Amino acid sequence: MKKFYIETFGCQMNVHDSEKVIGTLLAQGYGQVETPEAADLVFYNTCSIRDKAEQKVFNRLQQFKKESGKGKTFAVLGCVAQQEGERVFERAPHVSLVCGSASYNKLPELLIQLENGNRRVTGLSLDTDETFETPLTRRDNPHRAYITIIEGCDKSCAYCVVPFTRGPERSRTSVSVLREARELASGGYTEIQLLGQNVNSYRDPTPAGWDFATLLRNVGETPGIRRVRFTTSHPRDFCKDIIDAISENPVLCNHVHLPVQSGSTKVLDRMQRLYSRDEYMRRIEWMKASPRNIAITTDIIVGFPGETEEDFEQTLDLLDQVEYDSVFSFKYSQRPNTPALQYADHLPEDEKSRRLAILQERQRQIQIRRNGAYVGTIQEVMVEGFNKATGQWIGRTSQHKTLNFIRPAHGGENLIGSYLDVTVTRAGPNSLVGEAVILN
Ligand code: SAH
Ligand code: SF4
Ligand code: F3S
């Protein structure tokens, strides 16, 4: 039996795509192994969002350039594959297969071409034949499952490669999403995460024509499902209906990831984000007005071309105003084909680094304050793992906070996948610590 190894970089969309690819390969009779050394076929499912991410795959490929790569076949999947296309063969001549995410349904065919000795095989069409129906998906986690509801992106943020690497937006039918949710519930899954680059741009292609809030409400009604999450939301299409749905049904997790990118309307305009700071803040106010204490997280880019010190100060001020529960922050990275490349006023790397460090320290203080407010409260967690080194269980709250806890008088049973109430006893900037509530 031929053996494959796969390593995945990038976002949850890629993680879930790899689950689909693994399912497809297993169905073709390949066996999965844990190291590239043990494999005949080595797959890298790649990310291109920043230059560093793109470099990772070429570094990996470099490691196998000579002797150690002999007899192995290398395949590049995902966003770098789509972006670089046949150029991958020039940059790494020992690669034999280059395939973007819209062509994964062609993988069985492409593998046959490889088996037949073809040395340069590609799947790069963005014709977007349906790739949603993937009965072969091999899910990694037995409790929490991803469901893709929308692929691609129709926005054109000036810094971003995604519209090029994942093509135009296409939504899956509500019938098919609900069917998969029910199947997952009957397979024992209790948490569902709806995925898309812009989940809230979802538009049901059937005559029902559901918007995202309606789909969310309906997935939340699936018997057996205890938690529903979704990511990522674009502020422009983020309607109050989504918040109302969360306010009304506790199965819908009280966490929203709403990437802002910058606190300066001028920078947002140059980024072509299609909203102003005020419009973004209105959405934050809807969330803060919900009775459910919604955790809010975001993405921020510092050092976008033309970002002045004053623009940057506005971003810091936005952090203070919103008080995010967590922030993913990045230095602007120049990406191929993107409009921002043409801007004349790029910032030096060390200035971007300086701003990033200031922003991260500011946010750290906010998180220490915010998480501190949970000490003494009881939170329900889904148990995700056990840390042998600390003797703590790893739990996740509905707000998506990590809550590490001990369970006194614990009989040694495996708690992973169960839901427990935990009293929070301590808080740090990135996680909470607690003790399971013991029922008498
Ligand atoms: N669709 C999501 C973003 C997906 S990409 C949205 O619109 O919000 C994830 C994050 O990577 C983005 O939110 C952005 O903060 C960051 N990012 C994207 N392109 C980048 C670039 N060229 N340089 C630095 N960060 C970038
Ligand atoms: Fe990229 Fe913008 Fe699309 Fe998000 S909305 S994926 S940042 S182009
Ligand atoms: Fe990266 Fe592609 Fe996701 S560029 S962030 S893997 S959509």
Q: pLDDT (tens digit, 9 = 90+) per residue, 285-313?
A: 999 999 999 999 999 999 999 999 999 99
pLDDT grade for 131, boundaries at 50, 70 and 90: low
Query: 44, 131, 148, 165: which to mutate for ligand 3, most atoms within 8 A of CB?
Result: 165
Does residue 435 carry a pLDDT above 90? Answer: yes
Superfamily of 3-123 according to CATH: Methylthiotransferase, N-terminal domain (3.40.50.12160)
Span from the CA of 212 to the centroid of ligand 2 (angstroms): 17
Query: Rounded mean pLDDT of 392-398?
Result: 97
Does residue 221 carry a pLDDT above 80? Answer: yes
Closest ligand to Cα 14: 3
> Which ligand 3 atom is at minimum distance from the Cα of 161?
4
Query: 47, 82, 99, 164: which to mutate for ligand 3, most atoms within 8 A of CB?
Result: 47
Fold exhibited by the domain 378-436: OB fold (Dihydrolipoamide Acetyltransferase, E2P) (2.40.50)
What average pLDDT does the structure give for the chain? Answer: 94
102 CB near ligand 3 (under 6 Å): no
Per-residue confidence (pLDDT) for residue 71, from 0 to 100: 82
pLDDT grade for 440, boundaries at 50, 70 and 90: low
161 CB near ligand 2 (under 6 Å): no
Query: Rounded mean pLDDT of 221-225?
Result: 98
Q: Whose CA is nearest to atom 3 of ligand 3?
A: 11
Per-residue confidence (pLDDT) for residue 64, from 0 to 100: 83
Q: Whose CA is nearest to atom 1 of ligand 2?
A: 160
As a three-state string, the secondary structure of the chain is CCEEEEEECCCHHHHHHHHHHHHHHHHCCCEECCCCCCCCEEEEEECCCCHHHHHHHHHHHHHCCCHHHCCCEEEEEHHHHHHHCCHHHHHCCCEEEEECHHHHHHHHHHHHHHHCCCCCEEECCCCCCCCCCCCCCCCCCCCEEEEECEECCCCCCCCCCHHHHHCCCEECCHHHHHHHHHHHHHCCCCEEEEECCCHHHCECCCCCCCEHHHHHHHHCCCCCCCEEEEECCCHHHCCHHHHHHHHHCCCECCEEECCCECCCHHHHHHCCCCCCHHHHHHHHHHHHCCCCCCEEEEEEEECCCCCCHHHHHHHHHHHHHHCCCEEEEEECCCCCCCHHHHCCCCCCHHHHHHHHHHHHHHHHHHHHHHHHCCCCCEEEEEEEEEECCCCEEEEEECCCCEEEEECCCCCCCCCCCCEEEEEEEEECCCCEEEEECCCC
pLDDT grade for 187, boundaries at 50, 70 and 90: very high
Span from the CA of 307 to the centroid of ligand 2 (angstroms): 19
The 10s digit of each residue's pLDDT in 308-334 is 999 999 999 999 999 999 999 999 999
153 CB near ligand 2 (under 6 Å): yes
261 CB near ligand 1 (under 6 Å): yes
The 10s digit of each residue's pLDDT in 137-158 is 888 788 999 999 999 999 999 9
Domain 144-372 has CATH 3.40.50.12780: no
The reply to whether 144-372 shares the fold of 3-123 is no
Q: Where are the domains of the chain?
A: 3-123, 144-372, 378-436
